[in-house]
Amino acid sequence: MVPLSDVRRSLPPLFALLLLAAPLLAAQKKPVAGDRFEDTSEVVAVEVPVQVIGRDGQPVRGLTAADFEVFDEGNRQELTGFEVIDLTSTEEATRRMDAARIEALGAAARRHFLLLFDLSFSSPTAILRARLAARDFLLTSLHPADLAAVATYSLETGPKLVLTFTPDRAQLARAIDTLGLNRVFDARERDPLRFLIESGDDLSASAASSGTGGGAGSEVRAQRDQAISEQLQAITFSADQSQRAFEVSRITSYSRALAEMARSLNAVQGRKNVLFFSEGFDSRLLLGYGINDAEAEQDSANSIQGRIQFVDTDARHGNTGLQKDLSRMLEEFRRADCVIQAVDVGGLRGTGDSVGQKRVNGQEALFYLANETGGELFKDANDLGTQLDRVLTRTSLTYLLTFQRNDLPHDGDYRRLRVKVKAPQAANARVSFRSGYYAPRPYAELSALEKNLLASDSIIHATSKRDVELGVLAAPFRANEAQAYVPVIVEIGGAGLLAGHSGDKLNLELYTYVADKEGRIRDFFTQAVGLDIKNGREALERTGIKYYGHLDMLPGDYQVRVLVRNADTGRTGVESVPVSIPAYTKAEPQLLPPLFMEADAGWLMIRQRDNEEQPASVVYPFTVKGEPYVPVARPVFRGEQAARLCLVGYNLSPGDLTLAGQVMAADGTPHPGGRLSLVERTATGISGLDKLLATFEATGLESGSYVLHVAVKTPDGRQEESSLPFVVR
């Protein structure tokens, strides 16, 4: 735990120097009223995805809001939102849906697939072959808007999330290839939210090694498969050392562990289809012997002969305790809006299974798990894509119904939902919808997996959240011809961060991820910081924390997504900013976002922890005439004060430059207020690099949020533009 008074002293010399300068515009927006876990007057929007399937197995189209009724604990609710999401994969235009349209769908409308591999109740050969079918399904069958995750279950380790829900098919394929078993290929220790299996530098090499061709790539794949096979066989050997009593106990452990996993999945919005790859367990342990089984006939004979001591009641009728455990597990899956699609991998075993043990037929158990959650049993994973087309077709059309509640107690209780469809064309249709939802409950009661899933869900959907006020600035400086050095400045409002926080210690979590145009995560940095706030709480509440991190990025268009969370209360801020990295080899003009320079002290400054293997060596980029300054992520003006700013440009034409500014209101319309003035064009001594000094006055602007658009016109008539949001108090 780091005392506030020691944070400044622990910073590198350069950053300590920067603390002599500080926030000209450091005032923070007040926190938004209403905390997810603390404020009992919170308005909760409940989204209910509904699929209506006709007798022909096709979605019923053409329904309107008037055709639906939603009941919460038996009480009819007024719909406040209605949306139709059609993901018909056969339409070419829909298959090419871009990232902006995909994000506009919302979290509840996107399909989620969790590929769960059962390593203890399946043979190694079956799992190894099932990976190929699962990989093919992910790469060829899913819609661009679909999200998928990969997890494993074993008796030794319980459920493990290998990769969180993501649209990145390459990372998903990698997760399936390794199943998280081979530590050489596992980067999860670096990425706490499980978006990346490995670093981007290794991804292309691993993709090559996952191909079907020969050469060195196939040798690497064979070695990896052999290593995974040996681990799978070890797991199977350990799991199969017992007889009946232990079989019951391990199924009990299995059901309880998966129940906890299911409850955690409630943190992920939308319906989750769980593709459960397994051979299943002996259903007789659950349901008892069939009437034609030899064991059942022997029990009957013993009963007739009065030899009751030789009648095994559990064997004959099933274990009632086990039945209760499995029922509770399945109820948790239903409550988390999860549908188990069971894939029997038993038929995938070859005749040369090295373990050589006889496996029971677990299809009845798998059918039970699937049927009780509204899913299906698929008996041939080799034909998985064809079979799962039915699932994709049935879920391709979703009616998203929304209602609001402002009277929910924050007790975490489960509330049951019921949906009626009144349309004549849906008279004989099958209506599928979430069976209920959980009322909010204290953050401290959530499991570690739930907390991680909440964070990763917010990152992947890039939905702004303002429990904690955030300002984010990402400025791409040219590092070399191949890539940019991108400082990321995060300003964290202290008032929102500390609201509802008691005690003298603050645990802060910060996650920063870069997503490309397809929504794939390309890079990240994260940090957990412990602070002793006993002697600095009031100062921290007045201003907040300013965090300095950086990313190394290749040319392209990206979103930098930042999540900050109080790890004790769960109060969270989420913000996303676009970043465009040009191809520096083309030497085209570029203008960075306006960099406002701070003037007064106040922030608690924290810098990104350097990678021990690759310590930072980049020169601090925020300087003017050799003097460093601290940039403002989200300027806040009070009155018509003037602020200094620096405009960094690349490859601007020589000669006199003209500077113009335009203030845009919150609704996107031009506003006549504000005045931008060019002061000077400084000499940088670096070819192609310009730094312009200017001032901006917030004249004629009332309190509110705005965006400053800046345009630099060159003598040859070209114009480069950039912008930055700001606030007037």
> Quick one: which of 475, 519, 433, 402 has its CA closest to 645?
475
Residue-wise pLDDT tens digits, 415-427: 999 999 998 988 8
| Structure confidence at residue 145 (pLDDT) | 86
Q: Report which residue type is found at 434.
A: R
pLDDT value of residue 431: 92
pLDDT at 356: 44
Question: What top-level class would CATH report for the domain 2-32+467-728?
Answer: mainly beta
Out of 3.90.320.10, 3.40.50.410, 3.20.20.140, 3.40.50.2000, which CATH number does the structure's domain 112-394 have? 3.40.50.410
Would you list the domain boundaries of the chain?
A: 2-32+467-728, 44-107+398-444, 112-394
* Structural tokens at position 393: 């077709």
Q: Taking the CB of residue 385, how many other CB atoms lie within 10 A of it?
A: 17
pLDDT, tens digit (0-9, with 9 covering 90-100), for 617-645: 567 899 998 899 999 999 999 877 789 99
Looking at residue 42, its pLDDT comes to 72
Here the tokens at position 643 are 């602020």
Per-residue pLDDT at 351 = 42
Interacting residues of 115 by C-beta distance below 8 A, sequence separation 6+: 134, 138, 148, 149, 150, 151, 176, 275, 277
661 neighbors 676 (Cβ within 8 angstroms)? yes
Roughly what angle, to the nearest 10 degrees, separates helices 124-140 and 384-394? 50
Q: What was the pLDDT predicted at 65? A: 95
Strands 68-72 and 112-118: unpaired
Query: What is the distance between the alpha carbons of residues 707 and 32, in angstroms, rounded to a whole number?
Result: 20
Q: Which DSSP helix (H) or strand (E) runs through 655?
A: none
Q: Which residues of the chain have pLDDT under 70?
A: 1-41, 89-100, 182-189, 198-217, 233-234, 236-245, 287-318, 347-361, 380-382, 599-601, 610-618
What is the structure's pLDDT at 301? 61
Could you tell me which residues come within 8 angstroms of residue 626 by beta carbon, excluding any fewer than 6 positions away? none
Judge contact between 438 and 334, C-beta under 8 A.
no
3-state SS, residue 17: helix
Note the pLDDT of residue 331: 93
The pLDDT score that the predictor gives to residue 347 is 65
Facing residues of 154 across strands?
A: 158
Q: Return the DSSP state at 90.
A: T
Among 460, 440, 431, CA closest to 110: 460
pLDDT score of 333: 94
Six token digits for residue 121:
């109740």
For residue 431, give Cα distances in angstroms to 52, 53, 86, 418, 653: 5, 6, 16, 10, 64
pLDDT for residue 289 = 56
**What backbone phi and psi angles, to 5 degrees, belong to 49?**
-75, 135
In the chain, the largest separation of any two C-alpha atoms, in whole Å, equals 110
Give the model's pLDDT for residue 100: 67
Q: Are 141 and 133 in contact (CB under 8 A)?
A: no
Output the CA–CA distances (angstroms, integers) from residue 268 to 273, 342, 456, 678, in the order listed: 12, 21, 9, 49
Output b/e per residue, 353-380; b: 16+ Cβ within 10 A: eeeeeebbebbbbbbbbbebbbbbbbbe
With CA atoms as reference, report the closest residue to 278 among 387, 115, 138, 397.
115
> Coil, helix or strand for 454?
helix
Token couple for 255: 């059901």
3-class state of residue 88 by DSSP: coil
Same fold, 2-32+467-728 and 112-394: no
Contacts of 274 (CB under 8 A, 6+ apart): 113, 114, 116, 333, 338, 339, 340, 341, 375
Q: In one letter, which amino acid is 206?
A: S
Nearest to 221 by CA among 249, 196, 185: 185
Half-sphere exposure for 515 (CA within 13 Å, toward CB): 25
Class of domain 44-107+398-444: mainly beta
Bridge-based pairing of strands 595-596 and 642-650 is antiparallel
pLDDT computed for residue 6 by the predictor: 39
Give 533-570 pLDDT, tens digit per residue.
988 899 999 999 999 999 999 999 999 999 999 999 99
63, 399 in Cβ contact below 8 A?
yes
Per-residue H/E/C for 354-418: CCCCCCCCCHHHHHHHHHCCCCCEECCHHHHHHHHHHHHHHCCEEEEEEEEECCCCCCCCEEEEE
Q: What is the DSSP string of 518-540?
A: TS-EEEEEEEEEEEE-TTTHHHH
- Beta partners for residue 72, in sequence order: 75, 417
